Amino acid sequence: MRELMLQLRWALPIWLVGLLTNWWPDNRISVKLRGMLARPFIRKCGRNLTLGSQVTLLNTHNLEIGNDVYIARGSWLNCMAGLTLEDEVVIAPYVVISTLQHTFKDGSVRHGGSIARPVRVGRGTWLAAHSTVKCGVSIGAGNLIAANSAVVKDTPDHVIVGGVPARVIKANEDRDAEFYTRSEFEASRGE
């Protein structure tokens, strides 16, 4: 009965929001509107959730999202053991974060079951496209997780992490921007 109630309260509404809005284009207005529609069905969600199309959110009753979080198109988040995305986290397209991991029994995964561990992604971190985060990992604040990386252990704050398995490449330092909008970019090029 508890599982049925969880499905009706959390899973079904998120699925319905996706079903009704995935045909919308991924532009500034629709991704913000999609995020506003999904917010009531996430355990704790700060302001300004931006949600791309075809995002899969599983077990959102264990999902905590900070302010100004962006989750891009095609990302897959399984939050069964607890997933915390702190403020200003950016998740690029097709990122996978799972709080579960299969186990083996008698040399086979079929009857092995699973283990569950929470995942935390620190403030201001960017998970680049196609990166994967394993259960039980805590990613530090201000990190850049390189594209196609597999994060299998905790990371310190303010580093660039990449590879399979991911390892620290170098410190992630602040830099001055050349532009903030498309019109500023075009003006700088004389267009």
DSSP string, the chain: -HHHHHIIIIIHHHHHHHHHHTTS--SHHHHHHHHHHHGGGSSEE-S--EE-TT-EEE-GGGEEE-SS-EE-TT-EEE-TT-EEE-TT-EE-TT-EEESEEE--BTTBSTTT-EEE--EEE-TT-EE-TT-EE-TT-EEPTT-EE-TT-EE-S---SSEEEETTTTEEEEE------S-SSHHHHHHHTT-
pLDDT score of 94 more than 90: yes
What is the pLDDT of the chain when averaged over all its residues?
92
Q: Which CATH number do you get for residue 30?
A: 2.160.10.10
In the prediction, which pLDDT does 182 show? 84
In the prediction, which pLDDT does 133 show? 98
In the prediction, which pLDDT does 181 show? 83
pLDDT score of 43 more than 90: no
The pLDDT tens digits of the residues spanning 10-40 come to: 888 888 998 889 889 888 899 999 999 999 9
In the prediction, which pLDDT does 18 show? 87
In the prediction, which pLDDT does 189 show? 84
pLDDT over 90, % of the chain: 64
pLDDT score of 116 more than 80: yes
The pLDDT tens digits of the residues spanning 123-179 come to: 999 999 999 999 999 999 999 999 999 999 999 999 999 999 999 999 999 988 888
Structural domain containing residue 128: 2-188
- Model confidence, pTM: 0.90
Number of domains in the chain: 1
